[in-house]
A and B are shown apart, each in its own frame.
Chain A
Amino acid sequence: MSTVFIAFQTNEETRPIIEAIVEDNPHARVNEAPAMVKIDADGRLIVKRSSIEERLGREFDLQELHVNLISLSGNIEEDEDQFVLVWKN
C-alpha cells in the first residue's frame, strides 16, 4: 500500500494538531527531524477538526493548517470537519 504523509513545523501551534492526528490514526508513524515533524501512514491519513478543537479549547478552521504546513502527499478530500489524505492503490 502506498504511503501518504503530512509534515509540519515543530512549534507550539502544531503540537496539539500532531497529537490529534496521532490519536485519530493509530497506524501512523511519526518521524521527527530538525524543526519538523513528518507523519507517514499507509493508504490514508485523517485530520479531524473536532480532535484539534478538543485539545486547543477553541474553534479551529482546518484552513489554519496552512500556516505551519511544510508538505504532504496523496489526494486531498477536504470539508469543514475533516481533511483526508489518501492513495487509492
Chain B
Amino acid sequence: MDMQVAKKKLGLKEKYQVMTRDLNWTPTYQKMEDIYPYVHYEGIKIHDWDRWEDPFRLTMDAYWKYQAEKEKKLYAIIDAYAQNNGHLNVTDARYINTVKLFLTGVSPLEYMAHRGFAHVGRAFPGPGPRVACLMQSLDEMRHFQTQVHAISNYNKYYNGFHDFRQWHDRVWYLSVPKSFFDDAITAGPFEFMVAIGFSFEYVLTNLLFVPFVSGAAYNGDMGTMAYGFSAQSDEARHMTLGLEVIKFILEQDPDNLPIVQRWIDKWTWRGYRVLTLVAMMMDYMLPKRTMSWKEAWEIYFEENGGALFRDLSRYGIRMPKCAETIRFEKDHLSHQAWCTFYNYTAATAFHTWIPTEDEMQWLSAKYPDSFDKYYRPRWEFWREQAAKGNRFYNTTLPMLCQTCQIPMLFTEPGDPTKICYRETDYKGMKYHFCSDHCKEIFEHEPEKYVQAWLPVHQIYQGNCFPEGTDPSAEGFDPLKAVLQWYNVVHGRDNLDFDGSEDQRNFAAWRAQATRNV
C-alpha cells in the first residue's frame, strides 16, 4: 500500500511565482505593441519586466481572504455605531464638518483611483505590476464604497451630505482635489504610478489618513475611525507598490532618471497643495486635536520622506524641489486656508467658525513663530466685528491658480504678509499661478493646463447657474444662482456653525440622549 505523503506546502516565493508570473503568457498572433499601446510614449525604457519584485507577494486567494476579514470587522463596527446613535458621542457637532469635507473631497478620489489602477494595470506588459494594480484597483473601490456606507449614516441627521457626488464636480473648492486626480489619470501609465502610487501613496498619504483618522477616533467618531483604518490597512501595500515601481523604473535604464525626477517634483507639489484641506482640518476643525499639521509634516514628510529620499539617492534621485518652499509654508498653511474658508463660507457646503480662546492658545503653542504675530490678530478682529453684527463675508470671487486651482491665498516664500502671484503668457493669453512650482508645471505642459475647468472663470462665463437663469434680470443674485446650481441650500448647508441647524439639532438630540425628556 502506498503511503499517503503530505504534499509539501509551497513557500511564499514559490506560491507567488506560480499564482502570478506563471499565469502570464506571450502572445503569438498579436503584436505586443498592439496589446500594450501606452508603454512607450512617455519615454520610459523597460528592458525586463521579470525583474519586477513585489515585496508583499500577496496572491489573489490570500487577498480575498484577508480583505473579507477586514470587511467583516469594518461593517460590524459601522453597524454598531449606527445602531447605538454613535454620532451623538462625537466631541461637538463642529467635528462633523470634517466628515463633510472628507466625503466630498476625498471619497470621490478613491473611486477615481479605482479607475486609474484598473487602467494602468491593463497597460503594463509585466504580470507582477499587473496583479498589484488589480488588487489596488479593487481596494480603492472598497474604500469608496465603505466611506459612502459609513458616512451615509450622518446624512440621516445632518446637512451638507446630500449631494456629495455632484458637488465634487461643481463646487469651487472641490475642483482642487478633482483636478488633481483628473490630471493624474489623463497622464501615461508610468506617470500615473509615480503620481499616485509613489508621490501620493508613499510620500503623502500618511498625512491624510494617519493623524486625521487617529483624530477621528479621538473625537469619538468610530465610523470614520473604522473606514479610515480599514482603508489604511490596504495603504501599506499601496505604499510598497509605489516604492517598488520607482526602484524598478530606475533600475531598468539610466535614461529614466530625469523623467522620474520631474514627475516626483511635480506630483509631490500637486499632492501637497491638495493636502491644504487636511492641514486646516487638523489645526482648526477637529475639536480635540492629536497633533498639529506642522508636527505631522515634520514626522511624516521631513523625517520619513527624508529617509526615503536618502534611500533613493543611490539611483540619483534627490528630494523634491518644493521641499524648501513647503518647509517655509508649514507655519502658515492651515491658518491661511481656514481664514479663506471663513471669508467664503457663504459658498461652501460646510460650516466655519472662529477658533475659541482655548483653541487659539493651542495654536499659539503649536505655532510660536507665526500664530500670534500674523493670524491671532485677524481672528480677534473678525470676532470683534461679528459681535458688532458685521460678520465679514467676502463676496468677490478670488483669482485661481491655473494649475492647482486654489484661490491665491498663499504668501511669498519668506514674507507671510504678501500674497504670492506668478504669471506667464501662452499663445496670447495670460495665466496666473500661486507659486513658482505651479507655474513650472504649467510651462512644461501648457496644452494640458490651458484646458482647466476653473470654477471662478466658469461662474463669470455664466456656466454655473440653473438652466433658464437670466443674469441680466434686475436684482439678479449671482451667489444665490450658483448655490442653486450646486444644490446647496443657503442658510442651512453654508454659513457659520453658530446658529446652524446642525448645531441646534445636535444639542437637542444629545440632551435627549442624556436626560428623560
What 0/1 pattern do residues 39 to 71 of B give for CB contact below 8 A with A?
Answer: 000000000000000011110001000100110
How far does the Cβ of A74 sit from chain B's closest Cβ, in whole Å?
A: 8
What 0/1 pattern do residues 30 to 68 of A give for CB contact below 8 A with B?
Answer: 000111100000000000000000000000000110111
How far does the Cβ of A86 sit from chain B's closest Cβ, in whole Å?
A: 9
Q: Which of B238-283 contact A (CB under 8 A)?
A: 239-240, 243
Q: Which of B237, B243, B290, B307 has the most CB of A within 10 A?
A: B307
A70 touches B229 (CB 8 A): yes
Q: Which A residues lie at the B interface, using CB under 8 A?
A: 2-5, 7, 9, 33-36, 63-64, 66-80, 87-89
A34 touches B233 (CB 8 A): no
How far does the Cβ of A50 sit from chain B's closest Cβ, in whole Å?
A: 16
Stretch at the interface among B17-25, B124-132, B214-222: B214-222
A78 touches B56 (CB 8 A): yes
Q: Tell me which residues across on chain B come within 8 A of A3, comparing CB atoms.
A: 303-304, 307
How far does the Cβ of A43 sit from chain B's closest Cβ, in whole Å?
A: 10
Known A-B contacts A36-B210, A70-B210; the reply to A63 vs B66 at CB < 8 A is: yes
B66 touches A73 (CB 8 A): no
Q: Which of B214, B218, B313 has the most CB of A within 10 A?
A: B214
A34 touches B217 (CB 8 A): yes
Q: Tell me which residues across on chain B come within 8 A of A72, comparing CB atoms.
A: 236, 239-240
Q: A35-B214, A66-B70, A80-B12 are in contact. List 4 more A-B contacts (CB 8 A).
A: A7-B210, A63-B56, A72-B239, A79-B11
How far does the Cβ of B242 sit from chain A's closest Cβ, in whole Å?
A: 12
Known A-B contacts A34-B290, A67-B70, A79-B12; the reply to A73 vs B307 at CB < 8 A is: yes
Size of the B side of the interface (Cβ < 8 Å), in residues, is 40
Q: Tell me which residues across on chain A come within 8 A of B239, comparing CB atoms.
A: 71-73
Known A-B contacts A34-B290, A35-B217, A87-B311; the reply to A64 vs B12 at CB < 8 A is: no
Q: Tell me which residues across on chain B come within 8 A of A64, comparing CB atoms.
A: 66
Q: Tell me which residues across on chain A come within 8 A of B55, comparing CB atoms.
A: 75-78
A67 touches B66 (CB 8 A): yes
Q: Tell me which residues across on chain A come within 8 A of B229, comparing CB atoms.
A: 9, 35-36, 70
A66 touches B215 (CB 8 A): no
What 0/1 pattern do residues 196 to 237 of B give for CB contact below 8 A with A?
Answer: 000000000010011001110110000001000100111111
How far does the Cβ of B307 sit from chain A's closest Cβ, in whole Å?
A: 3
Please measure, in the bound complex, the distance between the C-alpha atom of A68 and the C-alpha atom of B226, giving whole angstroms. Answer: 11
Q: How many A-B residue pairs have CB under 8 A?
A: 96
Identify the closest chain B residue to A11 (Cβ). B73
Known A-B contacts A34-B218, A69-B233, A71-B210; the reply to A2 vs B243 at CB < 8 A is: no
Identify the closest chain B residue to A77 (Cβ). B55
How far does the Cβ of A79 sit from chain B's closest Cβ, in whole Å?
A: 6
Q: Tell me which residues across on chain A come within 8 A of B311, comparing CB atoms.
A: 2, 75, 87-89
User: Which of B217, B225, B240, B306 has a CB less than 8 Å from the CB of A76?
Assistant: B240
Please measure, in the bound complex, the distance between the C-alpha atom of A78 and the C-alpha atom of B240, giving whole angstroms. Answer: 12
Q: Tell me whether B310 is interfacial, beta carbon within 8 Å.
A: yes
A34 touches B70 (CB 8 A): no
B235 touches A71 (CB 8 A): yes
Q: Tell me whether B504 is interfacial, beta carbon within 8 Å.
A: no
Listed from nearest, the 10 A-B pairs whose CB atoms lie closest are A2-B307, A35-B217, A34-B218, A76-B55, A89-B310, A34-B217, A70-B232, A69-B236, A33-B214, A34-B214
B232 touches A71 (CB 8 A): yes
How far does the Cβ of A12 sit from chain B's closest Cβ, in whole Å?
A: 12
Identify the closest chain A residue to B247 (Cβ). A75
Q: Tell me whether B319 is interfacial, beta carbon within 8 Å.
A: no
Known A-B contacts A73-B307, A88-B311, A89-B311; the reply to A34 vs B236 at CB < 8 A is: no
Identify the closest chain B residue to A89 (Cβ). B310
Q: Tell me which residues across on chain B come within 8 A of A7, comparing CB atoms.
A: 210
Q: Which of B70, B206, B215 has the most CB of A within 10 A?
A: B206
B233 touches A70 (CB 8 A): yes
How far does the Cβ of B172 sit from chain A's closest Cβ, in whole Å?
A: 32
Identify the closest chain A residue to B70 (Cβ). A67
How far does the Cβ of A58 sit from chain B's closest Cβ, in whole Å?
A: 16
Q: Which of A9, A73, A78 has the most CB of B within 10 A?
A: A73
Please measure, in the bound complex, the distance between the C-alpha atom of A66 and the C-alpha atom of B73, giving whole angstroms. Answer: 13
How far does the Cβ of B294 sit from chain A's closest Cβ, in whole Å?
A: 16
How far does the Cβ of A82 sit from chain B's closest Cβ, in whole Å?
A: 11
Q: Tell me whether B308 is interfacial, beta carbon within 8 Å.
A: yes
29 A–B contacts, CB within 8 A, in A order:
A2-B311, A4-B307, A7-B210, A34-B215, A35-B218, A36-B214, A36-B217, A63-B66, A66-B58, A66-B66, A66-B70, A66-B233, A66-B234, A67-B69, A67-B70, A69-B232, A71-B235, A71-B236, A73-B307, A75-B55, A75-B243, A76-B55, A76-B56, A78-B55, A79-B12, A80-B11, A87-B307, A87-B310, A87-B311
User: Which of A4, A67, A88 has a CB less than 8 Å from the CB of B233?
Assistant: A67
Q: Tell me whether B448 is interfacial, beta carbon within 8 Å.
A: no
A63 touches B308 (CB 8 A): no
Identify the closest chain B residue to A65 (Cβ). B236
How far does the Cβ of A42 sit from chain B's closest Cβ, in whole Å?
A: 10
Please measure, in the bound complex, the distance between the C-alpha atom of A77 and the C-alpha atom of B303, giving whole angstroms. Answer: 21
Q: Tell me which residues across on chain B come within 8 A of A89, comparing CB atoms.
A: 307, 310-311, 313
Please measure, in the bound complex, the distance between the C-alpha atom of A70 and the C-alpha atom of B205, giving whole angstroms. Answer: 11
Q: Tell me which residues across on chain B come within 8 A of A63, comparing CB atoms.
A: 56, 58, 62, 66
